[in-house]
Structure 1
């Protein structure tokens, strides 16, 4: 097993990784910005290094500062968490070139999946279903208009280098396309340094279902069930559950087989996620993207499979076999995750501030992965995620009941927060039925 691990992240996910590292006897090293010096993950690490000011470009994305911290602390490996440098192929290569272990997939796999057009083409060649769309970037507006006419409106206009729901727009006709194309291209150049744009068929009513994969050290790729991620705002997830409440055994089999093919196509190692769009009217699903990292929503998979995905990541990175029998994968029960964000519960606009009260719910089947405690300040410099409230039950009915009780018991004041939204959602008949899609939030506001 790896002996010392630098966690190149912050908040909830840094704390989560440190918890597993310390359980395994791995020395955990935190890096932090000046703004995060008082957060729990810094105190809970065996060692901590300040890598710069609040601006992420000068701290959590500062590759030179992070590598210097690894050298000065004698770290053997680097875990990037999610966001920041987690899907930066150049950083992964630099880490390995420095003689350190990268806890994640190989840089080639990250590169292959980082370009959404290249990823679509690779998946199509591997026999993974893809929606109608462009096989090369729309070089200009004329090319985009021609491509949209062939695909058929409405179309999704996407940044080829984007991810996480960013850099996307919907065009119902040519006039809208002209506006969205320029908007997405400008955003992509500003955010990703790459203005390449792709077009895909847009489905107005669709479900977002993903499959957790784990590429083992021996080369095998496993599929660890699916997660339903259709409760979203601004194309970003708020709720995830596993298993999906409406995926049939036959559809599940097809989804998992396609996800394994996707991983095998890029010689995938470590944890990753194959995201798909599911048309509830036809039962067809289409590849959306592959996230070459640990997902925010990994706890629901952990609970229904009885494993620690961070531990499995560390074992793969160290060349060790998994803790479970790959030929006898089992799952049981139902898990739901709610993302507790510092944002107002109606418009979902950020509402940072100092936490005056923070009392987490407890009880059977309740887990809270948090990045903050009472007295901490949620700053405007980073993502608004404060904690993940995860519940587990023997079935969905029990999990929903525990979720309602846990939301009611979560005592939080100071920053704005979305707990009232979840209280409403957990009483909503459409959500309770399990038969919902990515437009459900728009009907709750």
Structure 2
């Protein structure tokens, strides 16, 4: 057994032929990164997993056994079958042609090893632990966690280009913020944050990051959208990288596109990091699906910040009442009784089950089970307060039979 350490190198495979022999679960793991690197992948295997078959438009699949001519023109090869003799034949033929080859069953039998890889903005981290893949993966994960939470000096590695990044932070629990959201925060010079953005993540900002609070409190203090537009544009024009940090998703009742238009009008570069919308994530976290086979074939998400009949309302409540699927209401606690009245007047059954999920995904999360007919009274007696998501429809009965809370 050779004791020499491997020599690390970063392969640039875009447009170059890579041969993969084998169509099982190991190949299923190895092929997508090759495609992502732009490689011209030739997959040779009599059978492949359904997931690999689903990639047929992005690679060339030859449904047969290995032939040495498959290596013609290849820059790199992976022998990933469950047959050691086939893998040995691939490795031997690759050696003769001076093509580096990974063997999935016998690391010593190949001329290359596959590292555990992680990516963080402009960094690619690759770890080799001398034929100990679990150790490689564990060390890789530790490094990636350090880069993401700032305990490793990764800020300089982020894209620091001046401009605005609109970041959806998810429903509230910082664990539901995406990796891309954390990367964006780590790159910021200025963070302009909403009240519902995951607040714990603000504690991870570097000390020199300017934090601007633009909270909108229900029936209380509220930063004007015009001020928010102005501040993100001004800071970006001053050469700063500005992260506009919101709860949920930027474009689901988050006024995100107003901010995009403001940036475009000022000539400020703007990018978007989508977030998990609370309209789906909060019910899911509470164990309530918004669709269910044979129960609901559609769901409708509506802002309830205006009551039915308001001259500025754009919602056709009569049409909503005629829908048979799920209705998800955001920002609707204050107007919920009037909305329930409109749905009942439009034909919805008073016994239609509903759930009100308060402080979704947060430690104080609480769910109140009600019906359209009793919602107004239950909001009062249960002390329902925003932020809350209201889910109306038979899916609530599926998830909480007999009205269990």
Tell me if both proteins adopt one fold, taking TM over 0.5 as the criterion.
no
Higher normalized contact order (CA 8 Å, seq sep 6+, divided by chain length)? 1
